[in-house]
Amino acid sequence: MRRSLTNMIRIVADPAIERRALLIILGVAAVLRLAMTPIIAARVGYLPDILSYRTAAADLLAGHMIQNDLAMPGYPIMVLLAGGGGLGQLLADIAFSVLSVWCIARITREITGDALSGLLAALLWAVYPFSIFYAVTGLSETFFVALFLLGFLAYQRGSFTFGSVAMVAAILTRPAVELLAPVLILTFALVVHRLSLNRALKHLAIFAAIYVVLISPWWWHNYEKYGRFVRLNLGSGIVLYSGNYAGNLDGGGVNFSIDVPGYYDIQDPVERDRTLRDAAVRFIIDNPGRFFELAGLKFLRLWRFWPYAAEYTSMFLFIVSAASFLPVLLLSMVGAVWGVGRYGRKLIPIALFVGYTTAVHMVTIGSLRYRFPMEPFLVILASAPSAWIVRYLLQSGEPAAVTKVH
């Protein structure tokens, strides 16, 4: 058995065999997600956000404006195209989750130049419990992650136009990466691909044009709805205030009916959002010490090994969460150090994304749900030391040389 596995590792660098192995992993990912759907549904139940996405899709189907002021149109459009919910939405989410497995394999291959690392990264994400969970619960995370990974992979390969289309689609799904996207483009162009400044600025201009073309229908929708220009949604005030008000004790969210007197008395949703944002900014300015204390609490919430919410604190979920996330986190830290001297500049976009996302949620709200988009990149970083361990165990402590991408 050991000899056959060793031989398999030696021949996996053959492109045809690598593709075949990746197809098997993709199949395993799809089967696992389908099989786990009834089990996860029975344990988790019906999450409130699911209804909001389906309601937004129904608004679009009826030719109405999306009534939810916090919504972005990306995922509701996908839900609408998939049939408005139910089995169609589930199958679409699973397909995008499987697509993420493929993206992770190719990104890892591009960065490390190692076929085995790419396949191990794909396998890790295929069986990773959080990846399976979000693929079958009807939330927007899986769709957003797939789009972002597609954009990231395209940028990694130098396909900036396609990457920008995927990245803007990701922004239309969840706008948190809007400010980071231009930075990523410049980083990939100037640092990873070592292009000239003029070419980098050209790619940035193409992104800007794609951004305007794809997002302008949403601007028109918002103008028709609110009577003024709203660039994204009306969620910035809510998420900023949720993490920065006097009653916040643990870095979590806010109950607006209790913690924000008069919130629902403000009829204009744009004014309501501005009021919350201004109140949060005043709190931060007036209480800098408490702001940094809360930022630390949010960091701990974001990166803790098990869910924080009371309904997800059973011993079973604790074990599954900690046993899956902790090894990936530790191996990713080893992989980051491992990769600095080998392909360091290719790791800079990952560092930017993880650092930026962590900082955003230290300022706003900390939750395991907001960590999920970073976890594919932890798996990517963890893949190289994982491949070394596999080779070491199967080849008597003599790791084989990696196969470089030419």
pLDDT single digits (tens) 65-95: 888 888 899 999 999 999 887 889 999 999 9
Q: How far is CA 135 from the centre of its chain?
A: 12
The rounded distance, in Å, linking the Cα atoms of 135 and 143 is 9
Per-residue confidence (pLDDT) for residue 251, from 0 to 100: 73
At 120, the amino acid letter reads: L
> Residue 137 carries which DSSP code?
T
Highest mean pLDDT, choosing among 241-250, 289-298, 311-320, 392-401: 289-298
Q: Would you give the distance in Å from CA 394 to the centre of its chain?
A: 34
**For the purposes of burial, counting CB atoms within 10 Å of the CB of 191, is it exposed (0-12), middle (13-18) or buried (19 or more)?**
middle
Say if residue 140's pLDDT is above 80: yes
Examine the pLDDT at 152 and tell me if it is beyond 60. yes
Average pLDDT of every residue of the chain: 87
| Contact of 175 with 74, CB cutoff 8 Å | no
Name which residue leads in pLDDT, 126 or 247.
126
Residue 364 one-letter amino acid: T
Query: How far apart are alpha carbons 239 and 220 in whole angstroms?
Result: 24
Residue 228 is given by DSSP the state S
Taking residues 315-344, report their average pLDDT.
86
Predicted model pTM: 0.90
In the structure encoding, which two tokens stand for residue 262, read together?
Answer: 């008069």
Decide if pLDDT at 259 tops 80: no
Contacts of residue 132, Cβ cutoff 8 Å, sequence gap at least 6: 32, 33, 36, 40, 97
Q: Higher model confidence: residue 286 or residue 42?
A: 286
169 in Cβ contact with 149 (< 8 Å): no
Q: Quick one: average pLDDT of 301-318?
A: 72
Tokens matching residue 405: 């991408």
Look at residue 95 in the predicted model and tell me its pLDDT: 97
Q: Do 171 and 219 meet the contact criterion of CB atoms below 8 Å apart?
A: no
Query: Poorest-confidence range of 90-94, 106-110, 199-203, 245-249?
Result: 245-249
Q: Report yes or no: 256 and 264 within 8 Å, Cβ to Cβ.
A: yes
